[in-house]
Amino acid sequence: MPFARQVSIGRVALIQFPEAEAGKLVVISDVVSPTAALVDFPGQTRRVVSFKRMALTDFTVEIPRLAKKAVLKKAIEEADIEAKFAKSAWGQKLAKRAAKAATTDFDRYKAAVQKMKRSAQVRRAFNALKKSAK
C-alpha cells in the first residue's frame, strides 16, 4: 500500500522531538536532502529538520518553493491550518495530553473522588439489577 502523506513543498508537519519543539506545526518550504527539509512557520525561525524528527500531517498549504514569511503567513491564515489541526483527532489528542499534564495534585484528587463516586453508583445499580433478576 502506498504512503498517503508524501513529502512535498507546502506539506504541514508536526515536530516530534526535541522536547523544546515537540508539538509545534511547521510547513515544508524546501527539500534539502533525502533525509531533511527546510521548514518554516510564522513565529519560528526557518531551519533544516530531519524527517525523523517530524510527522507529516494530512494538511497542505499552497506556497511556492522557499516562500517568504509574508506569503507563508497569508497562505496559512487562508487555509486555517492551526484551527483545522486543533479540530482533528490528532490535535485533540495532543490537547488532551497537554491538559492532563498541566493538572495539579488537587485536580487529580478531585478526579479520583469523582471516579469513586461514579463507580459506586454503577455498582449499586448493577447489584440492584442482579438482585431483581433472581
**The predicted structure's pLDDT at residue 3:** 78
**The predicted structure's pLDDT at residue 1:** 66
**The predicted structure's pLDDT at residue 88:** 97
> Going residue by residue through the chain (134 aa), what tens digit of pLDDT does each one get?
677 889 999 999 999 998 889 999 999 999 999 999 999 999 999 999 999 999 999 999 999 999 999 999 999 999 999 999 999 999 999 999 999 999 999 999 999 999 999 999 999 999 999 999 87
DSSP-derived pairing of the beta strands 54-60 and 36-40: unpaired
Residue 93 class from Cβ within 10 Å (0-12 exposed, 13-18 middle, 19+ buried)? exposed
Q: Is 23 helix (H, G, I), strand (E, B) or coil?
A: coil
Q: Rg of the chain over CA atoms, in angstroms?
A: 22
> Is this structure's pTM higher than 0.75?
yes
Burial 46-71 (b: 16+ CB within 10 A, else e): eeebebebbebbebbbebeeebeeee
Cβ(29)–Cβ(74) below 8 Å: no
C-alpha cell at 86: 486543533
Read off the DSSP letter of residue 51: G
